[in-house]
Structures are given as C-alpha cells and as structure tokens.
C-alpha cells in the first residue's frame, strides 16, 4: 500500500493582528497566520547604533517588549515547513521581513522554506496569487529602507542633543521634519512681509428689453478706435470714479457671443497625498486620522453578511495606476448601474498624472477592493468615519473610470459706447458624466452660471447699476495639513508613508500649532528653525531632502550603493555639528528673571518655557506653585484704552498682539503695532517687513518704515569689519 504524502504545514506572518482574521478565512487548514506587530528589531535608543568608524555598520537589537511575541513566533515556526513573510508591500515592509529572518533565526533552519509574498489588497484572489508568486527578500528595497533609518538616526542623534543644550531638553531634529518646518517658517515669513496692493472691480448689472432680472457683466478693459480690446487693471479710486461716471451715461450693446463645448475630464484615483488632501477638505480629517481609518479599511472590518472584509487596496502609494482587472470590473459595474453612455469611448478618460518622474509605480492607486460593494449597502454596518472615508474612495475610483462631463460654454462680450468692454461667462451641462457620482471640488468653476435669457449680437442692454468694489491683494494662505502634504509632495520631500508622521511630529513637539485648519509657527518652532537654518542649511533645504529621496530611490532600484550614500553624508553632518557647538550661543528662552513679584511669597518670578510658550513661575517651587501668563510689552500704547500692548499667544501658540487689560479691552491685531499713526486716517500702523501698513483695511495706506539710524550704523560697521 502506497504511503500517504504528508501535507506541508505553512505559516504566514503579517504585520498587523487585524489582518490575521481577514487572511485566515482565505486559506486552508494547513495554513496558520500570525502577526509580528510591526517592527521587531531596530537601532538601540540609548546610542547612535551605527559604527561610523567601521564602514557604518548598523547595530540592531530586539525592540523592548517583543521578546514574548518572538518566542511565540519561534514555536509556530518550528511546527511549519514553509514560512511566508507577508509584511506590507513597501520598503518598510520588506525591511520588517528581513529583520524577522534574523530575529527568528530562519537562516539557521535549512529544513525550512522561507519566502517573501506581497499583495496590494487583502482579497482571496490577491492572497492566493501571492502564494503562487513567492520570492526571496529584495535586498535593494531593504537597503533603501535601512539607509533612510540610518540617515534619520544620524540627524536626530547628532543634532537633538545640540538643541537640548542650546534651547531645552526634549526637543528633536529630524531630516524630513526639519525641511517641513522650514517650509512652514518660509510661508510665515512670506505672509509677514507681504504688502497688500489696492485694486478695483467694476460690474455692470444690465437688462435686456422684456426681462426683469439683470445679468452681471464684469469690466474687462478698453476698446481702441480700431476695435482691438486691451485688458485694463484698475488700481486707483479716482480713476474708478471717473470711469463709473462715464459708464453711467453710456449705451450698452452685445458686441459678440462665442459658444463652445468643453469637456471636464474625470479625476485620477487617490494616491496617499491626494486622499489626505481631499479627506481634509471634504471630511475635515487630519492626515493622521485619514491614515488611521484607511489602515482599518485596508486590513479588514467586520461587515454583517460578509464577515471580516478588506474594503480598500494598500493605502501608501504615489501611483495612479489601476490594474486591468479592476478597470474591467469598474466598466461592467458602470455599464450596468449608469448606462453604456457613461463609459469612456477609448478606455479611461481620467487626467494624465503630471508627476510621472516622481512616481514609484510599485503599487496601484487607492481603490475599493470590490467596486460592486456600494457605500449605500454598508452605510449602517460601518462606524460613521469609516463609512465616510470608504464612500470618498469609492466615488473617486468609480468617477475616474467614467466618461467626462460635457458643458456648453458661452462667453458674451458687451461694449459701452464702443470704448469699454464687459464680459460674462456662462455654462450649461450637456452631459453630467462622472459628475453624476463625484464632484471634483479641487477644480474651480469660474463661470457665472447659466444665462437667464438668450442674447444676440447687437442686442441693446439697459444699465441698472454700476457696482465698483475696492479690494486688496492677499498673501499666500497659511499652510494647512493638506496643503503642506501637497507642497511636500511637489518638492519631493518624504514619501507617502512619511507625510502624516512628519506633520504629527512637528505638531507634537509644539514647533507648529494648528488653528482652524491653519498651521502656525510657535515661538519654539521659530527658535529651532532658526538654529537649523543657521547651522544646518543643507538639511533644512527642501532641494537637499528631495535629492536624498532620489538617492534612496536609486538604492531601491539597485543603481546606488547604500553605504556610499551614508559615508558621503555623515562627515559633513559631523563637521556641521562640531562647528555649531562652537558658534551657537545658548538661547535665552527660559529661567530669565522678570520684573514681576510673586504675590504669594514675594520672590521675583522667572520666565520659563513650556509646551505652549513662555510663562511666569515662582522660583520657590515646590514650596510655592504660583504661575501666571507671561506677556512681553512692546513699548506701544493701546489705541483703545492707552494701556500697554503686549505680545500674546493663542491657546495653540499662534502669536498676536493685544491689550494687557484683556478681556476688559478687546484690542488685538496679528501684526506688530508700530506706535505710528496713519497720516491718512489716524489709525495704528502695523509692521509688515520693511513697510508699515494701516490696520484699517478701508484706508490701505502703506509707507516705508522709519530708518533705524543706530541699527544701520551697526550694520555698516559690521560690513567694514568683514
């Protein structure tokens, strides 16, 4: 009788325990599934962990608290014939699998078969296909990840102690976070130095005979005697008044009408960056919250009637690629649910990605794993936030596989006495296409809606009113989490997996504060950013950080040796740290004596620095616990009550200037008051870069700041000495 062939036992090791249940139901009884709970080895916390004198060899140790987990995994390994390392399908996941081989001593077990498998989505087909395409560890990906880890460790462990010595303990400096902080600081400087410029808009409300409601036409410019038009910028109130009087006596008629058709292409499916941006705008999610919920949807959630189900594909990607299988499934679904006319004629009508050079196409875009699982079907089965994010991803993906939306665009040009030109743009939907599913609010609609009545060339129009409005140009907006992610992506700083952690870190360190979605530099952030810009300009330079990302990509592609990158980086860093230790003076940001007397014990209070800025504390602590806010006087009197104006901070750290008698006096401004009154309206002039700007927006007066003769003499003397 022939012997029965023994079935081999298989062990699949994933990162997250949440995946275990989802994957286990796809595999047979001879498969066991276990989790590593993320990384199992890392560089030691107590020291640099990289031997800079011996070929930059890293020294890895088992992460504290992982001993019991690894012991359990070793027992499971002993029972298995094949071990499949199924950590996340990215460089970090590749590195975790490599570390697992060492931590579990799999290289010392010749009787075990060890494979690496990856899948972009946790579905039965994807998991079983990955088992058929098992491979060895990709050491190029591992080396790219450990180079990133080593570089970040070098920056953090060499520069952070310098910040502790010069500023305060507990601070940190990271390679990517320092570049991101620099970007926030540069935007703050740009806003602070921005000088608003006056401009005017003039609108004419015109009505055709037989119609009651007027149409609003916008002033464009002048018409020459030869009939040519030229755009005219209105920047002076007197000029506008003259124009307004002229127009009130003018005759208006339609000069010409142009009708065209425009197609709006559907949006690309989500990448990590665009998902974070749209979730922030549409759902008011922070980047951290978006990634946390997306991780849950990727790993699998319990759905009644479906069991534990993974709803989306892998969430860390900068690719907009969609697999052919997913495209076919989407086309079948759209044809059935919406009709064949909603399918593009020549494949996907989505916009082409404009960042082709920066995309790592290892993964697909973020999409639903099953397009037929509509959000409405599971709305009552998911927590609210999970449902909202899934619905956003589902709609974006389905819309991206549909045909474009078609509009009829009408532009009407109206002349006033054949001397001045006004325009109106209007649109009418011919076919809604992808907009039947998803409205891409990232694209502005600059038309004025639909024409309320038809117009023809030479139609006479009667003037109802001329509406002239004064405006001032605005500075670039403060970064939000979403716009900072977008800027980091455009600059090539970081990768999809680092955007959210970077922003979370600079906020957790109180370098940056968030108010009403906007990010502001705190005083502590200004100090740290100043030190980094002065002593480590290359590290905070976005171009340097972006170039380093390119080198990491080169390592991942097998084109660059990882130790070459490290050995070229560290000596320059070491020299910069040693020079900074000599050059930098200790920042006087804490424990300075103040003029305030403690009302509880009579000691002179000191200025200390906390997570949210400076405060006054009694030096008699712990006997005396008295503390109170610290406000720095700027030497300018409040225009409302005459008391001192002081520098204040919002609860989250944003700087502003207000009366010391707050809340009795509610005076406050965001720019520093100069103490000089406006010569036009008498209002307070505020400092903006090298100019003074009237705080009354309706006035808008701007003038040069008075020259500080003493400061100028000092600068001149410094130049001579240099």
Q: Of 314, 479, 499, 630, which residue is the catalytic one? A: 314
Residue 354: pLDDT above 50? no
Whether residue 338 is found in the same domain as residue 458: no
- Among 416, 439, 472, the domain boundary falls at 472
Q: Does 5 map to a domain?
A: no
* Average pLDDT of the residues in 240-254: 95
Is 450 in contact with 427 (CB distance < 8 Å)?
A: yes
% the chain with pLDDT above 90: 61
Q: Does 420 map to a domain?
A: yes
Residue 593 pLDDT grade (very low, low, confident, very high; cuts 50, 70, 90): confident
- Round to whole Å and give the CA distance between 484 and 270: 17
Of 680, 681, 678, the C-alpha closest to 692 is: 678
Tens digit of each residue's pLDDT (9 = 90 or more) over 202-242: 999 999 888 888 899 999 999 998 889 999 999 999 999 99
- Among 447, 472, 497, the domain boundary falls at 472
| Of the listed ranges 353-367, 429-443, 454-468, 482-496, the one predicted with least confidence | 353-367
Residue 425 has what pLDDT?
92
Q: Supply the range of the domain harboring residue 717.
A: 671-722
* Average pLDDT of the residues in 179-188: 94
Whether residue 422 is found in the same domain as residue 347: no
Whether residue 75 is found in the same domain as residue 91: yes
Is 492 in contact with 360 (CB distance < 8 Å)?
A: no
Residue 634 pLDDT grade (very low, low, confident, very high; cuts 50, 70, 90): confident
- CATH number, domain with residue 489: 1.10.460.10
Catalytic (active site) residue 314: yes
Residue 212 has what pLDDT?
82
Residue 538: pLDDT above 60? yes
Half-sphere exposure (Cβ direction) of 223: Cα atoms closer than 13 Å: 14
Burial class (CB in 10 A: 0-12, 13-18, 19+), 133: exposed
Whether residue 466 is found in the same domain as residue 507: no
* Average pLDDT of the residues in 186-196: 89
Residue 359 has what pLDDT?
44
* Average pLDDT of the residues in 425-433: 93
Print the SS3 string covering 550-598. Answer: HHHHHHHCCCCCHHHHHHHHHHHHHHHHHHHHHHCCCCCCCCEEEEEEC
Place of tokens 């990448």: 271
Of 158, 181, 167, the C-alpha closest to 585 is: 167
Residue 720: pLDDT above 80? no
Q: Does 607 map to a domain?
A: no
Is 344 in contact with 351 (CB distance < 8 Å)?
A: no
- 523 or 394, higher pLDDT: 394
Name the domain count of the chain. Answer: 5
Residue 708: pLDDT above 60? no
Residue 558 pLDDT grade (very low, low, confident, very high; cuts 50, 70, 90): very high
Residue 653 has what pLDDT?
63
Average of per-residue pLDDT values in the chain? 88
Residue 352 has what pLDDT?
55
Whether residue 188 is found in the same domain as residue 225: no
If you average pLDDT over each of 13-27, 85-99, 336-350, 518-532, which comes out highest? 85-99
Q: Does 616 map to a domain?
A: no
Residue 516: pLDDT above 50? yes
Residue 318: pLDDT above 80? yes
* Average pLDDT of the residues in 13-40: 92
Tens digit of each residue's pLDDT (9 = 90 or more) over 127-178: 999 999 999 999 999 999 999 999 999 999 999 998 888 877 778 888 999 9
Residue 299 pLDDT grade (very low, low, confident, very high; cuts 50, 70, 90): very high
Residue 707: pLDDT above 80? no
| Of the listed ranges 419-433, 488-502, 645-659, the one predicted with least confidence | 645-659
Q: Does 632 map to a domain?
A: no
Q: Does 611 map to a domain?
A: no
Assign 3-state DSSP to the chain and report helix, strand, coil percentages, each to 5. 35, 25, 40
Whether residue 351 is found in the same domain as residue 434: no
- Among 472, 500, 528, the domain boundary falls at 472
Q: Which residues have a Cβ under 8 Å from the Cβ of 706 and sit 6 or more positions away?
A: 676
Residue 6 has what pLDDT?
66
Whether residue 357 is found in the same domain as residue 303: yes
- 609 or 671, higher pLDDT: 671
Extended strands (E) in 63-197: 82-85, 113-116
124-127: long-range contacts, CB 8 A cutoff, minimum separation 24: 124/26, 127/23, 127/26, 127/27
Residue 589 has what pLDDT?
52
- CATH number, domain with residue 369: 1.10.290.10
Whether residue 394 is found in the same domain as residue 276: yes
| Of the listed ranges 100-114, 179-193, 478-492, 587-601, the one predicted with least confidence | 587-601
Residue 199 has what pLDDT?
93
Whether residue 305 is found in the same domain as residue 285: yes
Q: Does 350 map to a domain?
A: yes
Tens digit of each residue's pLDDT (9 = 90 or more) over 460-512: 999 999 999 998 888 899 999 999 999 999 998 888 889 999 999 999 888 99
| Of the listed ranges 22-36, 300-314, 439-453, 512-526, the one predicted with least confidence | 439-453
- CATH number, domain with residue 61: 3.40.50.140
Residue 716 has what pLDDT?
42
Whether residue 243 is found in the same domain as residue 277: no
Residue 74: pLDDT above 70? yes
Whether residue 290 is found in the same domain as residue 347: yes
Q: Does 588 map to a domain?
A: no
Whether residue 390 is found in the same domain as residue 448: no
Residue 442 pLDDT grade (very low, low, confident, very high; cuts 50, 70, 90): very low
- Round to whole Å and give the CA distance between 287 and 279: 8
Question: What is the pTM for the complete model shown?
Answer: 0.82
């Amino acid at each position: 009788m022939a012997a029965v062939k023994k079935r081999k036992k298989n062990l699949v090791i994933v990162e997250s325990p949440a995946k275990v249940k989802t994957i286990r139901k796809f595999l047979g009884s001879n498969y066991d599934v276990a989790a590593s709970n993320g990384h199992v080895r890392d560089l030691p916390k107590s020291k640099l962990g990289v031997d800079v004198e011996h070929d930059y060899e890293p020294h890895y140790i088992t992460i504290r608290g992982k001993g019991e987990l690894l012991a359990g995994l070793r027992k499971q390994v002993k029972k298995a014939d094949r071990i499949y390392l199924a950590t996340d399908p990215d460089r970090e996941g590749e590195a975790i699998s490599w570390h697992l081989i060492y931590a579990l001593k799999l290289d010392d077990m010749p009787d075990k078969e060890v494979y690496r498998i990856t899948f972009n989505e946790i579905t039965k087909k994807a998991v079983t296909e990955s088992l058929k395409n098992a491979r060895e560890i990709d050491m190029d990906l591992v080396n790219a990840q450990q180079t990133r880890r080593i570089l970040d460790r070098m920056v953090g462990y060499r520069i952070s102690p310098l910040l502790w010595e010069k500023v305060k303990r507990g601070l940190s400096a990271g390679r990517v976070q320092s570049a991101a902080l620099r970007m926030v600081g540069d935007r703050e400087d740009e806003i602070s130095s921005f000088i608003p410029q006056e401009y005017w808009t003039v609108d004419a409300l015109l009505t055709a005979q037989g119609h009651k409601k007027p149409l609003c036409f916008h002033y464009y410019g002048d018409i020459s005697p030869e009939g040519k038009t030229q755009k005219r910028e209105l920047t002076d109130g007197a000029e506008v008044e003259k124009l307004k009087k002229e127009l009130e006596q003018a005759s208006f008629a339609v000069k010409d009408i142009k009708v065209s058709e425009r197609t709006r292409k559907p949006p690309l499916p989500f990448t990590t960056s665009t998902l974070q941006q749209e979730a922030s705008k549409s759902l008011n999610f922070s980047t951290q919250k978006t990634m946390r919920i997306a991780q849950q949807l990727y790993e699998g959630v319990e759905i009644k009637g479906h069991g534990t189900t993974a709803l989306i594909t892998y969430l860390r990607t900068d690719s907009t690629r969609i697999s052919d299988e997913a495209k076919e499934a989407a086309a079948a679904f759209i044809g059935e649910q919406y009709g064949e006319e909603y399918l593009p004629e020549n494949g996907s009508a989505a916009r082409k990605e404009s960042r082709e050079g920066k995309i790592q196409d290892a993964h697909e875009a973020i999409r639903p794993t099953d397009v037929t699982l509509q959000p409405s079907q599971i709305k009552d089965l998911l927590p609210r936030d999970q449902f909202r994010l899934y619905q956003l991803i589902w709609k974006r993906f389905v819309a991206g596989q549909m045909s474009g939306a078609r509009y009829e665009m009408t532009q009407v040009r109206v002349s006033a006495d054949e001397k001045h030109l006004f325009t109106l743009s209007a649109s009418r939907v011919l076919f809604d296409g992808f907009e039947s599913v998803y409205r891409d609010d990232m694209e502005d609609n600059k038309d004025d809606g639909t024409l309320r009545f038809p117009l023809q060339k030479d139609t006479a129009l009667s003037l109802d009113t001329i509406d002239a409005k004064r405006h001032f140009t605005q500075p670039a907006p403060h970064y939000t989490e979403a716009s900072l992610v977008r800027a980091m992506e455009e600059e090539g700083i970081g990768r999809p997996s680092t955007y959210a952690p970077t922003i979370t870190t600079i906020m957790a360190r109180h370098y940056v504060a968030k108010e009403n979605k906007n990010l502001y530099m705190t005083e502590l952030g200004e100090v740290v950013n100043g030190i980094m810009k002065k002593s480590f300009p290359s590290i905070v330079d976005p171009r340097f950080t972006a170039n380093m990302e390119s080198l990491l990509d080169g390592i991942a592609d097998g084109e660059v040796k990882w130790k070459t990158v490290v050995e070229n980086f560290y000596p320059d860093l070491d020299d910069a740290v040693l020079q900074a230790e000599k050059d930098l003076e200790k920042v006087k940001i804490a424990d300075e004596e103040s003029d305030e007397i403690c009302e509880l014990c009579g000691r002179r209070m000191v200025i200390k620095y906390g997570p949210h800025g400076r405060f006054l504390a009694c030096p008699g602590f712990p006997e005396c616990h008295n503390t109170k806010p610290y406000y720095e006087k700027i030497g300018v009197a409040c225009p409302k009550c005459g008391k001192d104006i002081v520098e204040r901070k919002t609860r989250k750290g944003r700087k502003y200037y207000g009366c010391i008698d707050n809340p009795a006096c509610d005076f406050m401004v965001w720019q520093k008051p100069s103490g000089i009154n406006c010569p036009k309206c008498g209002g307070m002039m505020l400092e903006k870069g090298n100019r003074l700007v009237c705080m009354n927006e309706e006035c808008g007066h701007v003038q040069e700041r008075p020259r500080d003769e003493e400061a100028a003499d000092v600068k001149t003397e410094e130049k001579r000495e240099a």
